[in-house]
Amino acid sequence: MSNCISLSLPVLGWREVLKALRKKGFYATRQSGSHIIVENGKGLWTVIPRKDELGKGLLLQIISDCGITKKEFLDLL
């Protein structure tokens, strides 16, 4: 039996994702249609679609774009 804890992502909307990323120093720079562009001023940026439910694959891509781990992101929620 493994001591590894599964870090599954919850179903999140764009507001929860933006709120979590703000805690890590990201801020919305502009909006293009239904997408919000966020950056941290250090060259990292990503696009968050304004959807009530973001898919796990998209959420993982946003986390990767921001240069943080899944665990770090979950701790921000």
Q: Would you give the distance in Å from CA 7 to the centre of its chain?
A: 15
* Mean confidence (pLDDT) of the chain: 93
- Residues 25-43: pLDDT tens digits? 999 999 999 999 999 999 9
Q: What does the domain layout of the chain look like in residue ranges?
A: 14-76
CA angle 23, 25, 31 (to 5 degrees): 100
Whether residue 2 is predicted with pLDDT greater than 50 in this model: the reply is no
**What integer pLDDT is reported at residue 5 of this predicted model?**
59
Work out the average pLDDT over 42-64.
97
Question: Domain 14-76 - what CATH class?
Answer: alpha beta
Cα distances (angstroms) measured from residue 23 to each of 5, 10, 26, 28, 74:
24, 18, 7, 12, 12
